[in-house]
Amino acid sequence: MAHSVAQRPLWIKITAYGFAAVLFSAVAIGGSASYRQSASTADTLAREASADLALVETDMAAQRKTASAIALAIAGEPEIPALIASNARDAIISRYAGAMPGIVKDSGITFLTVTNANGEAVARIHTPDKFGDDMKGRRKTIVQALQSGNLVAGIEPGRTAVSMFASAPIKKDGVVVGVVDAGTSLTNDYFKSVADRIGGEIAIYVEADGKLVKQASTIEGDMLPEESLKAVLAGETKQANISLADKHYLVEARPLTNFSGATIGVIQIASDVTTVVNEATKALWITIIGTVVVSVLSLLGFLIFARSLASVIGGITTTMTRLAKGDLQADIEGGDRPDEVGAMARAVQVFKDNAIKTRDLEEQAERQRNQSEEDRLRSAETEHARANAMAQATSGLANGLKHLAEGDLSYQISETFHHDFESLRTDFNQAVEQLRTTLSSVAEATASIDSGSREISQSADDLSRRTEQQAASLEETAAALDEITANVSNSSKRAEEARAVAVQANESARRSGSVVGDAVDAMSKIEQSSSQISNIIGVIDEIAFQTNLLALNAGVEAARAGEAGRGFAVVAQEVRELAQRSAKAAKEIKDLIRNSSGEVQSGVHLVQQTGEALRTIEAYIVTINQHMDSIATSSREQSIGLGEVNTAVNQMDQVTQQNAAMVEEANAAGATLAMEAARLKELVGRFQFSSSSKIAMPTQPATIARPAPSSSSTSQPRAMVRKISNAFSGRSTAAAAVQPSADNWEEF
């Protein structure tokens, strides 16, 4: 054959695929090992960073606890409240100044301040010369301790460094009278000692005026860029690997919070991971070298194996070529090998055996084809006879189906079929008989349904008409009750208005009685004033009389004096005349006052009578007010009762309307049922049950006479409602009597 020589030898493919598989496996294993090494390295670095961070946080927490213990111990001493109350600064300093060096040495606490309730520094143990300043403006822990009355401890930012403070309230009888504040500055020296213990670096950044300012650091420069610091300030946690001075560091930055939990800056901790990184790099190179060595050795092994396999497969290929050309005498070698090549040789042997069997089967198949042709001829004769019998049965069934299609249910197939098809004739005749019986029953039921449905339709029509009349009557009744309700409501409103007017009249009468009483009092005062004026006029009259006597005596004495007393006599005469005119005027005034007093007494009497009349009117008005109140109450009750009756009638009207709608639907359904029954009867009438009879077509039944509504059945409830409506609306019964009674009720 033209393609018996392989264009692409198998040994090359086996070598290539095997080497590729080994190379892929080596790379995969090396990559997996590298990934696991990286993951292990990252986990180790994370644990290292977490341990360093925990150490720093533990040390800062120890500073906070130490400051809290010192502040609480001093604040709890019983003499402190009295010393603060008396502002005894010298006594406080002398009490604790000797212990301050020991506190600084043992605990690292460098600040110790005592303030009063106003936040003013009473004494600073660490700097005795500074006191009296207000610390509330820059020390938030002191402010919160004064306000809450509890210990407040934590970090507070300063101008040059962050500090750890603890402010303990000083209480006297449950009232905060001051604060003991203890703390220390977290300077570079402090963080340097902590960094030496963890073998890393530490940096503290504090936010000031919207910027991050480095306040403490054990390393020059910045370990993270400003963008990362701002992200940490916003609440994130950042990690980064950096290299400084041939050392590798894992930097972890977290938010720095103050005593209240608010973020005030960023704390960075750089853990020295140089040893871990170097070990990871060494392991990576070992993995790469091992992968390359394994790949080269695998390539050589696959090359030797593929060449040996190719020689054996070539021999099998030559044998298969001879078998394909029809040479079934070719020998197959290698069948005794236990590997896949031996299996391939045995498969070729099977192929050879199958080729020999195929040749024998083809010869046998030729003999069977000749025998099958003879059997086919005999079967054709049998099928022809069966086709004739089937044609007879088909013709008989076609004739029967034709009569059935024409509606003739009396037809029966009488001709006998071949014994193979006789059951078809019997089944057809039985089916036609059963159909005739069923349709006869359907025809009878259809007639009954048609008659009943027409009666139901007519009854539903009468019921619908009566329901509509009842609904109309209820609607008119509801309208009349609405009018009555409105009239009663108006009457109630008018009664309320009349009651209000009566109340106002009662109030006016009461005020008029009060005014009359005031008038009587005024008249009495006028009468008293008139009596006093009469007394004064009497005195004036007496004075005039005495003056007249004196003037008369003076005239007599002047006359005795002669010419010398003439002038005095003239004056005495003038005085006498004036005295007489005064006496006359006093008499006239006295008469006028006497008359006025009589008129005043008459007026007082009339005013008293007016007051009595007004009190009587007030009593009548009170009685009228009570009656009007009763009338208003009755009107309200009538209005409420009529409203409830109106609601009930409206509900009856709605239910009746719904009943009318349902009766209309029932009427329509009955009419539809009657039409369908007539149509069904017409369809059944198309069938012939015997040779001489067919189902009669339905006839229209006589219309059932409807009972005429009684014109004399006047609705007594409607007449009663109309009378009530006329009574409340003010119309006369005579006008109501002449109105025609058009509202008739029928029994439902």
423-443 pLDDT, tens digit per residue, is 877 887 888 778 778 877 887
pLDDT tens-digit readout, 494-551: 777 777 877 777 777 777 777 777 777 777 777 777 778 878 877 887 887 788 777 7
pLDDT band at 734 (very low <50, low <70, confident <90, very high): very low
Mean pLDDT of 223-248: 80
How confident is the model at residue 116, as a pLDDT?
92
Contact predicate 217/235, CB 8 Å: no
Whether pLDDT at 747 is above 80: no
- Please write the tens of the pLDDT for every residue from 572-619: 777 878 877 887 887 788 788 878 777 777 777 777 777 778 778 877
pLDDT in tens, 274-312: 777 777 777 777 777 877 777 777 777 767 776 666 677
Residues of the chain with CATH 3.30.450.20: 34-284
CATH of the domain spanning 34-284: 3.30.450.20
- Between CA 456 and CA 465 the distance in angstroms is 14
Tens-digit pLDDT profile for residues 179-190 = 999 988 887 888
**What local confidence, expressed as pLDDT, does residue 515 receive?**
78
Long-range contacts made by residues 258-262, C-beta under 8 angstroms, separation at least 24? 258/140, 258/154, 258/155, 258/156, 258/157, 259/140, 259/141, 259/144, 259/152, 259/153, 259/154, 259/155, 259/156, 259/165, 260/140, 260/144, 260/154
- Return the pLDDT at 690: 66
Instruction: Give the model's pLDDT for residue 710.
Output: 42
Q: Is residue 643 over pLDDT 60? A: yes
Query: Using CA atoms, how far apart are residues 204 and 215, in angstroms rounded to an integer?
Result: 6
The whole-number pLDDT of residue 550 equals 77
Q: Quick one: average pLDDT of 213-222?
A: 78
pLDDT band at 731 (very low <50, low <70, confident <90, very high): very low
- Give 606's contacts (C-beta < 8 A, 6+ positions apart): none
* Average pLDDT for the chain: 76
Strand boundaries in 231-279, DSSP class E: 238-244, 247-257, 263-272
Positions of CATH 1.10.287.950 in the chain:
425-682
pLDDT at residue 168 tops 90: yes
Has residue 733 got a pLDDT over 60? Answer: no
Quick one: average pLDDT of 475-492? 77
Domain 425-682 = CATH 1.10.287.950: yes
Query: What confidence score (pLDDT) does residue 150 get?
Result: 92
The two three-digit tokens of residue 143, written as one number: 């402010």
**Which pLDDT score, from 0 to 100, does residue 689 have?**
67
Which residues are 152's β-sheet partners? 167
Verdict on whether the full-model pTM lies above 0.75? no
